[in-house]
C-alpha cells in the first residue's frame, strides 16, 4: 500500500496528513475530509472572524449569557479541567495579554500597561450554566488557541479512523496524532526541534498516540540578554523562562499539548508535574539540560 | 460507536500508565476530559446515526362550525429508530387515532344538529429500513392502516444522492398504496383505490446560512374516491395530482434564529388548484428553550363537479342537475381559503431529551379563496394541541 | 384544457429549476468548514417526522390538496 501525503496550511502552520489506503483516489478524498475538519474548527473558533463562536461569546462579555452548541460546551468544560489541574495557570482568558506583548517589536510592557489587562483575566469570572456561557467582566476574552490546534489534529485523525484508515498520521505544525503504524507495521519517526539551533534534538518512533511540543523559540524577542517568549503567566502577565522546550507523548494530541503548556507555565515545578502526569516526556531547561522519563526518546545524532 | 472510540483511547492509555513510576491524578484527569471531546460526532460527514431515537407524540384536535363542535380526534404516535451495524437504521411508527363527533351529510350552512354521530378508531403501522452510503441513502418502507371501514396498505422506496462536496443532494422516491373501502352503510362493498406516487427533488446549500429544497411530485390514483357517507356524492374514478414544492431555511446571525419559508403549488384532474404558503421562525433562548411562531396561508379553487349550493333549495340540499354523472356537495371541494396561526415551544432537557408543545388555530372561509367564488358556507374552525417527547438512547 | 395547463406548468417548473442551477453557478460553493450553522437541527428539512405526519394528516383531511413533501406513509378514509 502506498502512503499518500497531503501538505496544507492551516492555523498559521505548515500541516501534513499522511495515510495509506487501497487506492490513491480514496486516500486523497479521505485526506480532504480530514483537512476540511481542521479548517472547520479553525473557522468556527477563529478570533479574527466576527461571526465565529469565540467572537460572539467575547462580544457578549459583561452583557449576558450566550447559548452554546455541544462542541463549544465540551471545549469550555475541557478548559475548566485544565484550569483546575494547573492551579489556575492554564487560563483561556489570558489571551488578552496579547495587547501588551507584541513579539514583532522588542518592548517589555510596564505594570501600568499590564494591570488593566490582568483585571480582565480569570477563568473564575466565566460562568457556565447548562447550555450557556457568560463572561461576567466587560472586555474579557476567551480563546481556544491554547489547545485548538491539538484538538483539530485529534478530530482530523478521528475522521480518518472512522473512514477506515489504519495507517497514517496528522501533523499540524508539530502537534502530531498518529492513527497507526506504517503499512509494513514499522513506526513513523518524528523529530523534536532543537530549541536553539536549526536541527533536531531528538527523534521519536511512534506507532500510535500523539506528540506535542511547546517551546520558547516559537515566538519571542530578546532584550538586555533576556528572552521573552509567547507563553505568558496569567497571574503576572510576564513570559515564562524556565523551560526552553517541553515535549509530551500521550494518547491524544490535545492531552499531550495541554501537558506541555502546563509544564512550561509551572516553570521549575513543571518537572514534578510531568512526572505526575504519567506520560512520557522530553524537556530541556534554560541551561540546556535535558530531562526525560521515556526510553523511546532517542537523542538525535546531529 | 462512541464506545468503540473510548475503547481505542483506553487501549492507548495503558502503556502510558505503565511507563510511569509515580503516576497520579493530573494526567488521567486531562486525558479523561480530552476523551470526552472525541466522543462528539463530526459535524461535517454525513453518517449513519450512532444512537437510537424514541419519540412519543399526542394530538388533540377539535373542529367546529358556529354553534356546533364537529370532529374530535385524539391521536397518539410512537416512533423508534434503531441504528444497526453502523450503516443501517430501522424505524418503526405506530399510530392510533380515535375519531368521534359528527360529520355533515351535506352543506353546513344549516346544520342545526343534524350531523350524524360517528365514532371510529384507526390504527396505523409504518416500518422503514435505511442504508447509509458515503454519498447517499436508500430507504424502503411498508405501511398498513386499518379503520372499521377502510384498510390501506402501502410500499415505498426512497433514495438520496449527494455530490462530493455535499452541497447538492438529489432526492427521489416512489410509493404505491392499495386501499379497500367497506362503508358501514354498505352503499358500496369491497371498493378499491390504488395510488402511485412519485417524487424527485434537489436540496442545495447556497450560502453558510441558506439551504433550499425543491421537489416535484406526481400522483396517479384509480378507484373509489367518493364519500360514502354524503348524499349526492359521485366522483371521477381517476384522480391525478401534481405538486411543486419549494422550501427555504435561513439562519440569522444576529438572533441565531432560523426562518423557514415554503410554498407548494398543487393541481389535480378534479381541477383543484391550490397555493400553500408556510412561514415559521425558530428562536432559541439562552435558557435552552426554542420558541416557534408559525403562519400558514392556503387557497384552493373548486373541483369541476362541486355542486354549488342553491340558496333557494334551503333547508334541503341542492340537487345535482339532471343528467350529470359526477357531483359532490363536499365543502372540501369548494373554493376556499384558510389561515393557520401556530406557536410551538420546545425545550431540550439534558443532552438526550427533547419536549415540545404546539398549539394551532385554523380557520377556513369560502370568501378567503383567491381563486374562485364558491357560495359562502359557515366558516370552519379547528384547533389542535400536540405534545411531543423524544429521547436519544 | 387540463393538458394545456400541464404544459404551462412544466414550463414554469423548468424555469424554477434553471434558476436553482444558475444560483449554484454564480455563488461560490460553501466549504465544509462553513457548515457549522447548517448542521443545526433547525436548519434541516423534516426534523420532526411525527409532527409533520400529524399536521399533514389534518390538512389533507380538511383540504382538497395534499402531498408535496414526501412519499409513503399510507392512506386513510378521511379524505
Q: Which domain holds residue B14?
A: 1-40
Confirm whether B348 is domain-assigned.
Answer: yes
> What number of other Cβ atoms are within 10 A of residue A155's Cβ?
26
Q: Are residues B23 and B141 in the same domain?
A: no
Q: What is the DSSP letter of B375?
A: P
- Domains of chain A, by residue range, sit at 53-135, 187-299
Is any Cβ of chain A less than 8 angstroms from the Cβ of B228? no
- Per-residue pLDDT, B87: 84
Confirm whether B373 is domain-assigned.
Answer: yes
- Per-residue pLDDT, B77: 95
Q: pLDDT, tens digit, for every residue of B109-120?
A: 544 445 566 788
Is any Cβ of chain A less than 8 angstroms from the Cβ of C34? yes
Which segment, A106-110, A231-235, B103-107, is predicted with the most confidence on average?
A231-235
Q: Using a pLDDT cut of 70, give the percent of chain B over it.
A: 88
> Which residues in chain B have Cβ-Cβ distances shorter than 8 Å to C79?
332
- Per-residue pLDDT, B13: 37
Is any Cβ of chain B less than 8 angstroms from the Cβ of C18? no
Top-level CATH class of A187-299? Answer: alpha beta
Q: Residue B216 in contact with residue B199, Cβ under 8 Å?
A: yes
C-alpha cell of residue C54? 400529524
- Name which of B21-25, B134-138, B161-165 the model is least confident about: B21-25
- Closest by alpha carbon to A217, among A192, A188, A184? A192
Q: Half-sphere exposure (CA, 13 Å, Cβ side) for B94?
A: 3
CB pairs under 8 A between A and B: 124
User: What CATH number is attached to the domain comprising B360?
Assistant: 2.40.160.50
B residues 334-363 closer than 8 Å to C (CB):
338, 356, 358, 360, 362
Q: pLDDT, tens digit, for every residue of A245-293?
A: 999 999 999 999 999 999 999 999 999 999 988 899 999 999 999 998 8
Q: Residue A16 in contact with residue A43, Cβ under 8 Å?
A: no
Q: What is the mean pLDDT of chain A?
A: 89
pLDDT at B213 over 70: yes
Is any Cβ of chain C less than 8 angstroms from the Cβ of B212? yes
> Which residues in chain C have Cβ-Cβ distances shorter than 8 Å to B386?
51, 54
- Per-residue pLDDT, B111: 45
List, in sequence order, every residue forming a beta bridge with A205; answer none if it has no partner.
Answer: A189
Q: In whole angstroms, how far apart are CA C6 and each of A64, A262, B273, C13?
A: 56, 71, 12, 10
Q: Residue B150 in contact with residue B179, Cβ under 8 Å?
A: yes
Mean pLDDT of B178-191: 88
Q: Are residues B23 and B156 in the same domain?
A: no
pLDDT at A69 over 90: no
Q: What is the mean pLDDT of chain B?
A: 85
Distance CA A228, CA A107 (A): 9
Mark residue A258 as left, alpha or beta (left: phi above 0; alpha: psi -120 to 50; beta: remaining).
alpha
> Which residues in chain B have Cβ-Cβ distances shorter than 8 Å to A262?
26
* Confidence grade of residue B169 (pLDDT, cut at 50, 70, 90): very high
- Per-residue pLDDT, C2: 39
* Confidence grade of residue B231 (pLDDT, cut at 50, 70, 90): confident
Distance CA A209, CA A251 (A): 4
pLDDT at B277 over 90: yes
Q: Are residues B197 and B105 in the same domain?
A: yes
Q: Are residues B28 and B141 in the same domain?
A: no
Please tell me the CATH code under which domain A53-135 is placed: 1.10.3980.10
- Per-residue pLDDT, A217: 81
Q: Are residues B21 and B79 in the same domain?
A: no
Of residues B112 and B124, more confidence is placed in B124
Distance CA B192, CA A282 (A): 80
List the chains bordering chain C where 3 or more Cβ pairs fall under 8 Å: A, B
Ramachandran angles phi, psi of B166, nearest 5° = 60, 20
Q: Are residues B28 and B63 in the same domain?
A: no
Q: To the nearest whole angstrom, how far is the Cα of C40 from the nearest Cα of chain A?
A: 9
- Name which of A161-165, A241-245, C31-35 the model is least confident about: C31-35
Q: What is the DSSP letter of B27?
A: H
The dihedral sign for the CA sequence A250, A253, A259, A264: positive
C35 vs A39: CB contact, 8 Å cut-off? no
Distance CA B377, CA B362 (A): 16
Q: pLDDT, tens digit, for every residue of A142-159?
A: 999 899 999 999 999 999
Confirm whether B313 is domain-assigned.
Answer: yes
Q: Residue B356 in contact with residue B334, Cβ under 8 Å?
A: no
B30 vs A67: CB contact, 8 Å cut-off? no
Q: Residue B205 in contact with residue C35, Cβ under 8 Å?
A: yes
pLDDT at B134 over 70: yes
Q: Half-sphere exposure (CA, 13 Å, Cβ side) for A227?
A: 18
Q: Are residues B173 and B289 in the same domain?
A: yes
> Which residues in chain A have Cβ-Cβ distances shorter than 8 Å to C42?
none
pLDDT at A296 over 80: no
- Give me the interface pTM, i.e. the ipTM: 0.85
A43 vs C35: CB contact, 8 Å cut-off? no
Overall number of domains in chain B = 2
C-alpha cell of residue B282? 425558530
The DSSP string of chain C is -HHHHHHHHHHHHHHHHHHHHHHHHHSPPPPGGG-TTTTSGGGSSS--HHHHHHHHHHHHHHSS---SS---S---TT-
- Per-residue pLDDT, B47: 63
B145 vs C29: CB contact, 8 Å cut-off? no
Q: Are residues B287 and B252 in the same domain?
A: yes
C-alpha cell of residue A294? 521515556
Confirm whether B20 is domain-assigned.
Answer: yes
Amino acid at each position: 500500500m502506498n502512503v499518500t501525503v497531503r501538505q496544507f496550511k492551516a492555523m498559521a502552520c505548515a500541516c501534513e496528513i499522511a495515510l495509506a489506503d487501497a487506492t490513491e483516489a480514496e486516500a486523497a478524498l479521505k485526506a480532504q475530509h480530514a483537512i476540511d475538519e481542521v479548517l472547520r474548527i479553525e473557522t468556527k473558533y477563529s478570533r479574527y472572524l466576527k461571526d465565529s463562536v469565540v467572537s460572539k461569546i467575547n462580544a457578549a462579555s459583561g452583557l449576558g449569557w450566550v447559548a452554546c452548541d455541544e462542541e463549544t460546551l465540551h471545549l469550555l468544560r475541557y478548559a475548566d479541567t485544565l484550569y483546575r489541574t494547573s492551579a489556575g495557570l492554564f487560563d483561556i482568558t489570558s489571551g488578552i495579554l496579547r495587547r501588551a506583548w507584541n513579539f514583532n517589536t522588542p518592548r517589555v510592557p510596564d505594570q501600568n500597561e499590564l494591570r488593566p489587562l490582568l483585571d480582565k483575566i480569570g477563568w473564575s469570572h466565566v460562568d457556565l450554566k447548562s447550555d450557556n456561557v457568560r463572561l461576567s467582566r466587560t472586555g474579557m476574552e476567551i480563546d481556544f488557541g491554547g489547545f485548538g490546534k491539538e484538538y483539530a489534529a485529534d478530530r482530523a485523525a478521528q475522521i480518518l479512523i472512522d473512514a477506515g484508515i489504519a495507517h497514517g498520521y496528522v501533523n499540524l505544525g508539530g502537534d502530531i496524532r498518529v492513527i497507526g503504524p506504517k503499512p509494513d507495521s514499522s513506526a513513523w519517526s518524528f523529530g523534536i526541534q532543537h530549541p536553539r539551533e536549526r536541527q533536531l534534538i531528538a527523534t521519536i518512533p511512534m506507532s500510535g498516540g500523539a506528540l506535542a511540543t511547546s517551546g520558547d523559540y516559537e515566538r519571542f524577542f530578546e532584550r538586555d540578554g533576556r528572552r521573552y517568549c509567547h507563553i505568558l503567566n496569567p497571574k503576572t502577565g510576564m513570559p515564562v523562562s524556565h523551560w526552553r522546550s517541553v515535549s509530551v507523548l500521550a494518547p491524544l494530541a490535545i492531552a499531550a499539548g495541554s501537558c506541555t503548556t502546563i509544564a512550561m507555565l509551572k516553570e521549575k515545578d513543571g518537572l514534578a508535574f510531568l512526572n505526575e502526569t504519567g506520560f512520557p516526556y522530553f524537556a530541556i531547561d534554560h541551561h540546556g539540560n535535558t530531562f526525560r522519563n521515556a526510553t523511546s526518546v532517542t537523542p538525535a545524532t546531529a | 460507536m462512541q464506545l468503540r472510540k473510548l475503547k481505542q483511547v483506553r487501549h492507548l492509555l495503558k502503556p502510558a500508565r505503565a511507563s510511569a513510576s509515580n503516576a497520579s491524578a493530573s494526567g488521567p484527569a486531562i486525558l479523561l476530559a480530552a476523551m470526552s471531546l472525541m466522543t462528539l460526532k463530526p459535524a461535517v460527514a454525513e453518517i449513519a446515526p450512532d444512537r437510537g431515537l424514541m419519540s412519543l407524540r399526542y394530538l388533540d384536535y377539535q373542529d367546529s362550525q358556529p354553534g356546533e363542535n364537529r370532529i374530535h380526534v385524539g391521536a397518539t404516535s410512537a416512533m423508534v429508530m434503531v441504528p444497526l451495524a453502523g450503516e443501517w437504521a430501522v424505524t418503526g411508527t405506530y399510530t392510533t387515532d380515535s375519531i368521534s363527533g359528527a360529520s355533515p351529510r351535506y352543506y353546513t350552512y344549516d346544520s342545526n344538529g343534524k350531523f350524524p354521530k360517528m365514532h371510529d378508531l384507526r390504527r396505523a403501522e409504518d416500518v422503514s429500513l435505511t442504508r447509509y452510503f458515503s454519498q447517499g441513502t436508500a430507504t424502503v418502507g411498508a405501511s398498513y392502516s386499518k379503520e372499521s371501514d377502510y384498510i390501506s396498505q402501502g410500499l415505498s422506496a426512497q433514495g438520496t444522492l449527494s455530490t462530493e462536496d455535499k452541497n447538492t443532494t438529489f432526492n427521489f422516491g416512489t410509493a404505491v398504496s392499495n386501499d379497500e373501502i367497506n362503508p358501514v352503510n354498505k352503499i358500496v362493498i369491497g371498493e378499491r383505490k390504488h395510488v402511485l406516487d412519485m417524487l424527485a427533488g434537489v436540496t442545495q446549500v447556497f450560502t453558510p446560512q441558506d439551504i433550499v429544497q425543491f421537489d416535484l411530485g406526481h400522483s396517479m390514483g384509480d378507484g373509489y374516491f367518493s364519500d360514502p357517507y354524503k348524499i349526492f356524492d359521485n366522483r371521477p374514478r381517476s384522480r391525478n395530482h401534481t405538486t411543486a414544492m419549494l422550501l427555504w431555511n435561513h439562519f440569522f446571525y444576529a438572533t441565531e434564529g432560523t426562518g423557514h419559508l415554503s410554498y407548494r403549488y398543487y393541481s389535480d384532474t378534479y381541477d383543484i388548484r391550490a397555493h400553500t404558503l408556510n412561514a415559521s421562525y425558530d428562536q432559541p433562548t439562552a435558557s435552552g428553550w426554542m420558541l416557534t411562531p408559525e403562519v400558514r396561508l392556503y387557497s384552493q379553487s373548486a373541483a369541476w363537479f362541486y355542486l354549488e349550493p342553491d340558496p333557494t333549495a334551503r333547508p334541503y340540499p341542492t340537487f345535482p342537475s339532471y343528467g350529470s354523472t359526477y357531483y359532490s356537495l363536499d365543502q372540501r371541494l369548494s373554493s376556499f381559503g384558510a389561515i393557520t396561526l401556530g406557536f410551538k415551544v420546545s425545550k431540550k432537557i439534558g443532552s438526550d431529551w427533547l419536549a415540545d408543545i404546539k398549539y394551532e388555530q385554523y380557520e377556513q372561509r369560502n370568501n378567503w379563496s383567491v381563486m374562485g367564488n364558491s357560495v359562502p358556507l359557515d366558516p370552519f374552525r379547528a384547533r389542535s394541541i400536540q405534545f411531543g417527547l423524544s429521547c436519544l438512547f | 384544457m387540463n393538458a394545456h395547463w400541464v404544459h404551462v406548468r412544466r414550463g414554469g417548473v423548468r424555469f424554477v429549476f434553471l434558476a436553482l442551477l444558475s444560483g449554484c453557478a454564480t455563488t461560490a460553493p460553501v466549504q465544509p468548514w462553513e457548515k457549522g450553522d447548517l448542521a443545526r437541527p433547525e436548519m434541516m428539512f423534516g426534523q420532526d417526522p411525527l409532527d409533520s405526519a400529524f399536521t399533514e394528516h389534518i390538512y389533507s383531511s380538511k383540504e382538497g390538496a395534499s402531498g408535496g413533501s414526501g412519499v409513503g406513509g399510507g392512506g386513510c378514509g378521511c379524505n
